[in-house]
Structure 1
């Protein structure tokens, strides 16, 4: 009788030990699976897909701080391209200005409103004037936030009888905002103002 009980007790211990091993094994497998899942998600987050010519191209994302100078310069360049590229077409002007104002605060909006009130844009249309801009350089100081910038550019103002080449220097600061379709770099230009905007040369058109 006692031998039977002893055998049952031994068998129970074996079963209990085996069950514990199975449970521990399941926990370890679950932990490993979770770890690999998080690792895979992290790796996927480090990849971005860029649509170019209808094809998805894979690229690798980097820390924002590594790209601040590059992204900041492109943000400033894009803003100035939209704000200062004008043609004698009200729709073109509104489209470009709208895109520009997504990238800057009310300091840019105030300048736009002043120009509009003074008849600058209506003069562009009535005079059949086109305006282009060429960015020479953009200086960004990322040592202190918000990041200060200075933009050096040249303008070409094409009139019916002449082409005016003009020097343009502006300054402002950049603060971080959420990225969006209208603001892909996630910066906002603040305290934007023009330091210099003077004629360099006037060329008569033939």
Structure 2
């Protein structure tokens, strides 16, 4: 009887040990499989960067994404640097701005500066230019991104401001590698000048309508005080799009 009990005890012990070994083997197998999967995934994303000092392995990052804030900040910085300088910062600013625009577009702007003798005029008249960015409009729904920028360039001779020139341009933005010279990872392409005609926002339209309505009211009050009828063109409200009515012009009947 004692031998039977010992046999049962030994069987239970062996069964427990066997189950523990099986569970341990499964855990090890799953861990090894997951580790192998991670290694193969990283190996597939591994690239080699060749430099003057040799080659180094690196993991490829996922596709970079750019926000409208980043793109707008890049365009603003480019415009202020490319078109705002004096005789001391001319070369430095161009060196900083040119990596942000494609080669042909940058050369065209630089050649325009040379033809206009911009640097020579800075030196001759102690002049400088300052660029103020009024607005930037971006369309980042499709690639390549597109946009327009509206600015005003102020020209100073000594301490006196001589001119304020409106300037606008359209452009595309393509994605490129980030670098020390271009930390944004965006490159300006198809840069071209356009007429300065920025879109009018809803708030600006409402302000123009209120301004025109106030002007019409003052004209009517002045005409009534003088005892004369106001001209027909001045008694009409501003057009629906918010643009002020031309003096003396009667809008067409609806």
- Shorter-chain TM range is 0.5 to 0.7
1:173 to partner: Cα distance: 0.6
Q: What is the alpha-carbon root mean square deviation over aligned residues?
A: 3.1
Residue matched to 2:181: 182
* Normalised TM-score (structure 1): 0.67
Of 92, 117, 122, which aligns to 1:119? 117
Residue 79, structure 1, aligned to residue 81, structure 2? no
- The answer (yes or no) to whether the contact 1:88–1:126 under 8 Å persists in 2 is no
- The structure showing larger relative contact order (alpha-carbon pairs under 8 Å, at least 6 residues apart) is 1
Per-residue CA deviation, residues 53-104 of structure 1 (Å, 9 max, x unaligned), is xxxxxxxxxx835x2x211111110100110111122xx1111001101111
Extract unaligned runs of 5+ from structure 1: 35-62, 198-206
- The answer (yes or no) to whether the contact 2:86–2:119 under 8 Å persists in 1 is no
Residue matched to 1:98: 95
1:133 to partner: Cα distance: 0.6
- The farther-off stretch of 121-130 and 148-157 is 121-130
Counterpart mapping for 1:167-178 below 5 A:
167-178=166-177
- The answer (yes or no) to whether the contact 2:154–2:161 under 8 Å persists in 1 is no
Counterpart mapping for 1:25-64 below 5 A:
25=27, 30=31, 64=65
Residue matched to 2:45: none
* Normalised TM-score (structure 2): 0.55
Query: What is the total number of aligned residue pairs between the two structures?
Result: 163
Residue matched to 1:38: none
Higher strand fraction (1 or 2): 1
Cα distance in 2 between the residues matched to 1:115 and 1:18: 81
Residue matched to 1:18: 20
Cα distance in 2 between the residues matched to 1:143 and 1:13: 64
